[in-house]
Amino acid sequence: MAKQTAKLDGVKIMLAVSGGIAAYKAIDLASKLTAGGAEVRTVLTENALHLVGAKSFEAVTGGPVYTSLWSTGCLTAEQEEFKIGHINLADWADVIVVAPATANILGKFANGICDDLLSTTLCACWAKPMLFAPAMNEKMWANPAVQENVKFAERLGVELIGPRQGRLACGAEGIGRMAEPQEILEAVGRIAAQRKHKNK
Q: What domains appear along the chain, each with residue ranges and CATH number?
A: 12-199 (3.40.50.1950)
Catalytic residue among 74, 114, 125, 170: 170
The yes-or-no verdict on residue 51 having pLDDT over 60 is yes
Q: Is the pLDDT of residue 84 over 70?
A: no
**Residue 170 appears among annotated catalytic residues:** yes
The stretch 129-137 carries a mean pLDDT of 95
Tell me if 64 sits within 8 A of 79, measured CB to CB. yes
What's the mean per-residue pLDDT of the chain?
86
- State the average pLDDT over residues 25-46: 95
166 and 173 in contact (C-beta within 8 Å)?
yes
Q: Which residues lie closer than 8 Å to 98 by C-beta, 6 or more apart? A: 16, 17, 18, 105, 122, 130, 131, 132, 133
Instruction: Output the pLDDT for position 44.
Output: 94
Asked if 115 and 18 touch (Cβ cutoff 8 Å), the reply is: no
Check residue 68 and give left, alpha or beta (phi > 0: left; psi -120 to 50: alpha).
left
